[in-house]
Amino acid sequence: MLNYTLRRLFTVVPTLLVLIVFSFYLMRLAPGGPFTSEKPLPPSVMANVLERYGMDEPLHVQLWTYIKNIVFHFDFGPSFSQKDRTVNDVIAQGFPVTLTYGFWSAVFVLACGIPLGIIAALRHNSFWDYSMTGLAIFSQIFPNFVLAPIMVLLFTLSWGLLPGGGWNGGQWEYIIMPAVALGTSYMAGVARLTRGSFLEVMNSPFIRTARAKGLPERTIIIRHALKPALLPTLTYMGPVFVYMITGSVFIDVFFSTGGIGQDFIDGAYSRDYSMLLGLAILYSVLTFTLNLLLDLAYAWIDPKVRSKL
Amino acid sequence: MSYKSLLIPALLSGTMLSPAFAADVPADANLAADQTFTYRVMDEFSSFDPQVVEGVVGAEVVRDLFEGLYNQDADGNNVPGVALSHEVSEDNMTYTFTLRDDAKWSDGKPVTAGDFVYAWQRAVEPELASPYAWYMELMSIDNASAIIAGEKPITDLGVSAPDDHTLVVQLSQPLPYFDKMVSHATTFPAPKWAIEEHGSEWTRPENMVSNGAYMLTEHVLKERSVRERNPMYWDTDKTVIDKVVTLNIGDEAQGLTRYRAGEVDKTEIPAGQYPTLKEEFPDEAYALPRLCNYYFTFNVKNGPEAFKDARVRQALSYAVDRSVITDAVLQGGQFPAFTFTPGATADFEVPEVEYSTMTQAERDAKAKELLAEAGYGPDGEKLAFNYLYNTSESHQQVAIVASQMWKQKLGVDVTLENQEWKVFLETRGNQNFDMARGAWCGDYNEASTFLDLLTSPSGYNDGKYSNEKVDALMTEAKSSQDTTPLYAEVEKILADEMPVVPVYHYSTNIMLDSSVQGWPIHNVEQNWYSKDLYKVAE
């Protein structure tokens, strides 16, 4: 497994390099630049601004400087739109926010989705099963951009229970709505997936054997059925978690959390090249790391996968 | 050199009377126990550095954190800030400001004329590359342009401090409205010692030294900023608001929701919602005039051949029923525009241009006549062109309504084209359009901030209109003591030649909690200072 991990790690460097080069040139194809504004800067002022940010150099020189700064100084450059800040600063402040509510959202998804799925499977074709399936479908058809305003309408405006947005240092009342709004449709997905795989596992020969041995039902469920039944859920949750902490642009903007989703949007509109590139690198490293961890977790759970590594 | 005392009346009254520079609280006001003012901002501030900051919301914060030579009162007039008064030399080229001796930085050091010299030199310094360096050029400070271009050292800038309380500014040309420009953030003083110690990180709350009524105490990027009363501020005894919080709320509708939930005291009203909100909250919804215009610009350089004919441009302008756009489409208290300069601009008397006195029916008839004369319309050549605007719902509504007016009244075919903001700016800046949307907000409260835009050398003149007479009049206005007739003449030329179609003059639509008092609703630049506000118990 160590060999496998090392092999995967070695592929990261060339992948990232290709990504940086590709993104670097692609961004510059978009018309306008970071300093294009309604009141265009006079040429002499523009010349000073370009020089300050090293943008007066040819593109390949800028790219080389950028890569050198990352490799030798772990410096992702200055932000063009927040002039007192570097990209490192902005990510260091925004990423923990997104990560925090992404984490709690994942906890919510698993803590609600798995039990709901198991209950539905155990009470197959009963009122509980139909209610759960109904609830799951209902949640899945509500995208977060519909759910979030409804939640704010109810919990903030009507009942005054939760603040309508903000972060305030990550107090729990500020985390609830972003985490739930982000996770609800995935929670429904997890519940349905767990129900399906649990049903399948409970009908498999090894469970029949366990029952024949006279094991109590609770032991069968927890010790024998749960682990294999959760495999599809785990496969599903890997990419979902990556999406949660990288793609939650709407949540960041709507709830004004100060997370990095907002930076991505602002970076694109303001052509903040270094910010966009920094975020693209962060997202790639995250995607890679989480996928690797997921594969390793999969191997840990499933001996068949382990033997192939 | 002989000087003549030219203390402006507002200043005289400001220094001689016991002035209300800070919150003007009536004796019977029942002040709220919690004097925290919280408001929504859409975007993150570009900077807290006065010489670097850009944009309206950034300037609002910097005005609280720093204090320049003059502040503005509720009507937009200059009142003493760090400077108590100024004198102007006979040739109008030298301004001498007298600074107060009780102004202090938040670390207790005195604010001196040298701090202004340092800041102004910093603003033009090529290494800092301030995006607002052009403002120093606009102020006509001697040698500013050469320093920005790297041709002279910053020490050659026309600003000096003969002593700690005297600041002398040398201009490269007389500028009658110079004193109106020194309440702008770019001209605020800067603490050299803090900047040298912390470099670009000097604006972090833990490093920042400022001389305004407030100090920055917290800043969470894209989430909130907090500024609290500066105990060293010379007028802190008269300041009422203790704490000012900005919350970043990107979505306008969400801003309104959080206003309704009582989380913010002030937010902008989403487009089109002003009439209903005014009905629901008559004491909290405001439409305030703003120093901005909205216009359509003709590309007279390489647009359609027809646009080179002033009669065509006039016809298209006359056919736009501005009141439909302001009263039926936008409904936010905007003002129909027939001149380029907003009527709210200081010392600007709106000249009576001919088409502004006609009824819309008369304008429509005249439009048909002019178009026919130019050889276009039903009996002539078919007129068709593209109208370019940046993607936005309200710009789209205006575009649709205007194009329908042209279609129905003049038989003109207009193709609407929208582009993302920066793409739009580049397309318009490169003259790759026929007609484009334009808007301009004044940098200072004087007509030249608008009219300069339509002079030949202006970098903002996207339609590339050029008229020697306009250029000459605007140059003359720079040194004239009576600009009214000059600006009136320029507006008349613009009405005759119609290089742009003035559509409306802006208003700002805000929700302001009724507990917040002292808001400068008559200041068309909307330059407000938290120190002038106070909250009453509800």
Q: pLDDT digits over A52-89, tens only?
A: 999 999 999 999 999 999 999 999 999 998 888 999 99
Please tell me the predicted confidence (pLDDT) of residue B23.
79
Of A151-155, A182-186, B114-118, B478-482, the least confident: B478-482
Distance of CA A302 to the CA centre of its chain: 25
Please tell me the predicted confidence (pLDDT) of residue A247.
60
Please tell me the predicted confidence (pLDDT) of residue B16.
33
| Interchain contact B425–A (C-beta under 8 A) | yes
**Do B365 and B231 share a structural domain?**
no
CATH number assigned to the domain comprising residue B120: 3.90.76.10
CATH number assigned to the domain comprising residue B420: 3.10.105.10
d(CA A260, CA A248): 9
Please tell me the predicted confidence (pLDDT) of residue B24.
82
B318/chain A closest Cα distance in angstroms: 27
- pLDDT tens for chain B, 538 residues: list them: 333 333 333 333 333 323 445 778 888 889 999 999 999 999 899 999 999 998 889 999 999 999 999 999 988 889 999 999 999 998 889 999 999 999 999 999 999 999 999 999 999 999 999 999 999 999 999 999 999 999 999 999 999 999 999 999 999 998 888 998 999 999 999 999 999 999 989 999 999 999 999 999 999 999 999 999 999 999 999 999 999 999 999 889 999 999 999 999 999 999 889 999 999 999 999 999 889 999 999 999 999 999 999 999 999 999 999 999 999 999 999 999 999 999 989 888 999 999 999 999 999 999 999 999 999 988 889 999 999 999 998 899 999 999 999 999 999 999 999 999 999 999 999 999 999 999 999 888 899 999 999 999 988 899 999 999 999 999 999 888 889 999 999 999 999 999 999 999 999 999 999 999 999 988 888 899 999 999 999 7
Which helix (H) or strand (E) segment is B37 a member of? strand B36-41
**Do B330 and B190 share a structural domain?**
no
**pLDDT band with cut points at 50, 70 and 90 for residue A309:** low
In this structure, what token pair is assigned to residue B316? 């298209």
A27/chain B closest Cα distance in angstroms: 13
Chain A residue with minimum CA distance to B151: A44
Chain A residue with minimum CA distance to B221: A258
**Do B437 and B522 share a structural domain?**
no
**Do B363 and B216 share a structural domain?**
no
B458 in any annotated domain: yes
B263 in any annotated domain: no
Q: Please say whether the beta carbons of A188 and A113 come within 8 A.
A: yes
Alpha helix segments (H runs only) across B282-392: 310-318, 322-323, 354-357, 360-373
Which positions 514-533 of B are in contact with A (Cβ < 8 Å)?
none
Tell me whether residues B263 and A262 touch, CB distance under 8 A: no
Give residue limits of the domains in chain A. 94-270+296-306
| Interchain contact B390–A (C-beta under 8 A) | no
Which helix (H) or strand (E) segment is B512 a member of? strand B500-512
Q: Please say whether the beta carbons of A224 and A210 come within 8 A.
A: yes
Please tell me the predicted confidence (pLDDT) of residue B21.
54
Chain B residue with minimum CA distance to A253: B250
CA distances from B214 to B59, B154, B233, B310, B436 (A): 14, 30, 8, 53, 42
Q: How many CB pairs under 8 A join A and B?
A: 150
**Do B304 and B223 share a structural domain?**
no
CA distances from B224 to A92, A168, B242, B248 (A): 16, 8, 16, 6
Give mean pLDDT, residues A235-250: 81
| Fold topology of A94-270+296-306 | MetI-like fold (1.10.3720)
Of A139-143, A151-155, B424-428, the least confident: A139-143
**Do B38 and B106 share a structural domain?**
yes
B17 in any annotated domain: no
Nearest CA among A237, A241, A139 for reference residue A184: A139
Indicate if the pLDDT at residue A20 is higher than 60: yes
- Note down the domain range covering B125: 3-9+27-242+513-535
Q: Hey, which residues does B517 pair with through a beta bridge?
A: B534
